[in-house]
Structure 1
Amino acid sequence: MLRARILIAEDEPDFASALAEFLQDLGYQTEIVATGIALDAALRAGPRDLILLDLGLPGRTGFDLLDDSDLIGRAAVIVLTGNPDAVERIVGLEAGADDYLVKPVDLRELAARIGSVLARRLGRQRQIVSFENASADLTAARILYPDGLTAPLSPGEVALIRTFAENPHRVLDRDQLLELAPAETTEALDRAIDSRIARLRRKLGTAQIVTLRGRGFRYEPD
């Protein structure tokens, strides 16, 4: 499956790196630029599916870039800003942004917004994996329950579900799972994968992820 390409235009390096790592764990391709000039050059080098745009970029402001429709092309834009001013939000949306979030940003909310914008703007299908009692929306990083309630999925859980969904009926040993779906902390050693899968089974209410003693795990969809 082709991964959506996200360009992160953010001049706070720690936040940009954390954001890129989070989105990569969800399966997106990411690239970081820290100035308006670098963003301009990156977009001229090739198209992107979505831009996370800090309006206060040095060199060339986010508003300048939103006005340049030839440069933005067909990319969706989600504005990120530390300014809670409603006027700025309105101006950003009127200038062509698809969505707007004020920092500090909840990363799971951002993942849900990215999934919705890509589905709406670019016609991408959401990545839904169905289980007996719930569905996992990998694009939005949420579990969807039949009663309408939802629960967040961590990047590690998204990676696990994606790995099982892409390898149905295949036995995956612990080493393979740790390589394909690394944990978010250093607990990813030896049998820590067992506890991660046990927690995921409980959240999903599923018996379709089967433990094969001495061999590993297998996903058995209907």
Structure 2
Amino acid sequence: MIDDEVDLTAALAEYLGDAGYDVVTATSVATGGAVLAEAAVDLVVLDLSMPGGGGLDLLRTLRTGAAKSVPVLILTALAEPIERVVGLELGADDFLVKPVEPRELAARISGILCRLGMETRETVPFERATVDLTTSRLLRHGAPPERLGPGEVVLIRIFARNPNRVMAREDLLEAAPANSLDANDRSIDTRITRLRRKLDTDAIVTVRGHGYMFVPPVPDLPAGATGDIDAPEEA
């Protein structure tokens, strides 16, 4: 991330770090160019207006040098259409105008890397949040990413890979034993209750007498529309 706004860069770098990225920052074109010359990076977030040279000059250099295939996302306060056009014509992969929502920046970065086959993330959407299983993070609109424990990730992955299927308590406990970071939980029921509360979801339902089932949420599902259900009668 090459930007001379130190406070903004630090805040965005912290957010992206929580989202699972390793971020290196530079405050000028010169220091940014030095970093790019020494280290292999997957993507550059580039400001256009900085002391000691403009971001467009660095972009021109990148597109004609050894790092010409590195994707570049322009992030700048210069909102004039000509800046956007020139940046894209020089080979920028995306363009964002400050101020920017950190979650949007993370989504744009992920989108670029996914399109280039450099990143594949396994995500599970819930009613009011999304779980990124690749980075073990819970993502909510307007909130910083929240780290999930190994046991929580295992449970979410099991449910996501077995939608609309009753999962017995014994199977869940065997797959996600309580000796993970969730070791203080006394039973799978307690852990499921805590997980549902953390996810703010009704999509993990109790099947009385059998276990739990993940019913993938649908758009505009009213809160409380899913809940405890009775197990189907056996043939």
Name the CA distance, whole Å, in 1 between partners of 2:47 and 2:22: 19
The partner residue of 1:201 within 199, 202, 208 is: 199
Alignment match, 1:41: 34
Tell me the secondary structure at the aligned position of residue 136 of structure 1: strand
Name the CA distance, whole Å, in 1 between partners of 2:70 and 2:91: 11
User: Percent identity between the aligned chains?
Assistant: 36
Name the CA distance, whole Å, in 2 between partners of 1:100 and 1:53: 9
What do residues 99-118 of structure 1 show as CA deviations (whole Å, max 9, x unaligned)? Answer: 00000001111111111011
The answer to whether the aligner puts 1:126 opposite 2:124 as a matched pair is no
Name the CA distance, whole Å, in 2 between partners of 1:200 and 1:130: 14
Tell me the secondary structure at the aligned position of residue 18 of structure 1: helix
Could you list the runs of 5+ residues in structure 2 that have no partner in the other structure?
Answer: 156-174, 185-192, 207-212, 215-235
8 A contact 1:35–1:57 mirrored in 2: yes
Alignment match, 2:176: 169
8 A contact 1:138–1:162 mirrored in 2: no
Q: CA deviation at 1:96?
A: 0.7
Alignment match, 1:160: 148
Quick check: which one's strand share is greater? 1
Alignment match, 1:98: 93
The partner residue of 1:19 within 3, 12, 37 is: 12
Alignment match, 2:230: none
The partner residue of 1:65 within 58, 72, 81 is: 58
Tell me the secondary structure at the aligned position of residue 74 of structure 2: strand
| TM-score computed with the length of structure 1 as normaliser | 0.66
What do residues 77-105 of structure 1 show as CA deviations (whole Å, max 9, x unaligned)? Answer: 11011011111111111111110000000
The AA in structure 1 aligned to 2:40 is P
The AA in structure 1 aligned to 2:203 is G
Alignment match, 1:191: none
Alignment match, 1:181: none
The change in CA–CA distance for 1:128 and 1:86 in structure 2 (over 3 A counts) is same
Matched positions, count = 179
Name the CA distance, whole Å, in 2 between partners of 1:116 and 1:162: 26
The change in CA–CA distance for 1:86 and 1:49 in structure 2 (over 3 A counts) is same
What do residues 126-177 of structure 1 show as CA deviations (whole Å, max 9, x unaligned)? Answer: 232477998634689887xxxxxxx6384333x227773368614344699x
Name the CA distance, whole Å, in 1 between partners of 2:85 and 2:58: 16
Name the CA distance, whole Å, in 2 between partners of 1:132 and 1:102: 29
What do residues 33-70 of structure 1 show as CA deviations (whole Å, max 9, x unaligned)? Answer: 00000011000001100111001122231111111221
RMSD across aligned C-alpha pairs, in angstroms? Answer: 3.8
The answer to whether the aligner puts 1:76 opposite 2:71 as a matched pair is yes
Which is higher, the Rg of structure 1 or of structure 2? 2
Tell me the secondary structure at the aligned position of residue 44 of structure 1: helix
Q: CA deviation at 1:122?
A: 3.9
Could you list the runs of 5+ residues in structure 1 that have no partner in the other structure?
Answer: 1-7, 144-150, 177-194, 209-219
8 A contact 1:135–1:204 mirrored in 2: no
The change in CA–CA distance for 1:64 and 1:71 in structure 2 (over 3 A counts) is farther
8 A contact 2:45–2:75 mirrored in 1: yes
Name the CA distance, whole Å, in 2 between partners of 1:89 and 1:99: 9
